[in-house]
């Protein structure tokens, strides 16, 4: 997926309207970083409005072998370019679903207690795609209480670990313990979203890069019926395109 398309979708997901100042908060986080030990984790302060990293911790280079100045100067465009191409559409779908859940299911007064986790594969300095689990806590919100500044922790895991892309949202309860309020494993969606046998037939042919005309001939139905099934499939799975559907299936070896 081209950078311009990623930016368009990402910006739509995190569309916001105001930029609060967090200089004091971020300054304290930077001061803390010098005391942290080197490990397999690093953290960044992310700005989803400007698509920049307000701060990159010292462990970024030790974890991935990359120059942290590239991340600071080039921002999220550079970061996105190193996510595995097969993971991009599913990751964007995860972001869309998480944000939709936040805005529709989490009350405004509770959004400052939310915490989000997702994962993807990321290319390090050696050209190896390692697994990264990202955990983000919102630091501030726009005037519609949409998170725009976040403290993101990244844990780097061995590339040999086979990880399905998942997305999770947690909220602090009255005992100040995080409770999972949202979990979406995208490799399981076909089993849970009421996909019919006919729709499964169509999905299998879409994975083989068949056109609507070719699918209609194979299943002995009209092209119009195929297109109707395709729209219904995307609606049920809350996906934006057939490409996103095919990428999700191929990555997780569902069919």
Per-residue pLDDT tens, the chain, 255 aa: give them. Answer: 777 778 787 877 777 766 555 567 677 777 888 887 788 899 999 998 889 998 999 999 999 999 999 999 999 999 999 999 988 888 888 888 888 889 888 999 899 899 999 999 999 999 999 999 999 999 888 888 888 889 999 999 999 888 888 889 999 888 888 899 888 765 555 555 677 888 888 888 888 888 999 999 989 999 999 999 999 988 887 777 888 777 767 655 555
Report the 10 Å Cβ neighbour count for 220: 6
Looking at the structure, tell me whether residues 200 and 182 fall in a common domain.
no
pLDDT at 11: 79
Q: Count up the domains in the chain and report the number.
A: 2
Looking at the structure, tell me whether residues 88 and 210 fall in a common domain.
no
pLDDT at 13: 77
Spatial CB neighbours of 78, under 8 Å, sequence gap ≥ 6: 70, 71
Q: How far apart are CA 94 and CA 183, in angstroms?
A: 10
pLDDT at 252: 54
pLDDT at 20: 53
pLDDT at 208: 86
Looking at the structure, tell me whether residues 97 and 64 fall in a common domain.
yes
Looking at the structure, tell me whether residues 55 and 157 fall in a common domain.
yes
Parent domain of 207: 193-252
pLDDT at 242: 84
Looking at the structure, tell me whether residues 32 and 98 fall in a common domain.
yes
Adjacent-strand bridge partners of 178? 172
Residue 169, helix vs strand vs coil: strand
Looking at the structure, tell me whether residues 90 and 156 fall in a common domain.
yes
Tokens for 150? 């976040």
Tokens for 194? 């009421």
User: Comparing C-alpha atoms, which of 156, 137, 157, 155 is closest to residue 147?
Assistant: 137
Domain boundary among 159, 186, 213: 186
Looking at the structure, tell me whether residues 70 and 48 fall in a common domain.
yes
Q: How far apart are CA 175 and CA 156, in angstroms?
A: 30
Looking at the structure, tell me whether residues 235 and 133 fall in a common domain.
no
Domain boundary among 186, 202, 224: 186
R_g of the chain computed on alpha carbons: 20
């Amino acid at each position: 997926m081209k950078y311009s398309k990623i930016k368009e979708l990402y910006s739509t997901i995190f569309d916001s309207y105001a930029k609060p100042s967090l200089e004091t908060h971020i300054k304290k986080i930077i001061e803390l970083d010098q005391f942290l030990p080197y490990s397999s984790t690093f953290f960044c302060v992310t700005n989803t409005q400007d698509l920049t990293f307000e701060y990159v911790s010292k462990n970024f280079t030790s974890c991935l072998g990359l120059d942290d100045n590239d991340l600071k100067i080039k921002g999220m465009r550079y970061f996105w370019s190193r996510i595995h191409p097969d993971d991009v559409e599913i990751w964007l779908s995860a972001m869309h679903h998480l944000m939709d859940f936040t805005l529709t299911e989490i009350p405004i007064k509770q959004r400052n207690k939310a915490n989000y986790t997702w994962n993807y594969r990321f290319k390090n300095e050696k050209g190896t795609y390692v697994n990264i689990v990202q955990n983000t806590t919102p630091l501030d919100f726009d005037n519609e209480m949409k998170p725009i500044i976040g403290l993101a922790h990244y844990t780097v895991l061995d590339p040999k670990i086979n990880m399905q892309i998942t997305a999770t949202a947690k909220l602090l309860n009255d005992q100040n313990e995080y409770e999972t309020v949202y979990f979406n494993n995208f490799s399981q969606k076909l089993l849970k979203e009421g996909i019919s046998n006919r729709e499964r037939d169509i999905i299998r042919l879409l994975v083989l890069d068949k056109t609507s005309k070719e699918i209609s001939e194979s299943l002995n139905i009209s092209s119009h019926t195929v297109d109707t099934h395709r729209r219904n499939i995307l609606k049920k799975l809350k996906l934006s395109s057939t490409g996103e559907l095919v990428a999700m299936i191929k990555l997780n070896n569902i069919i």
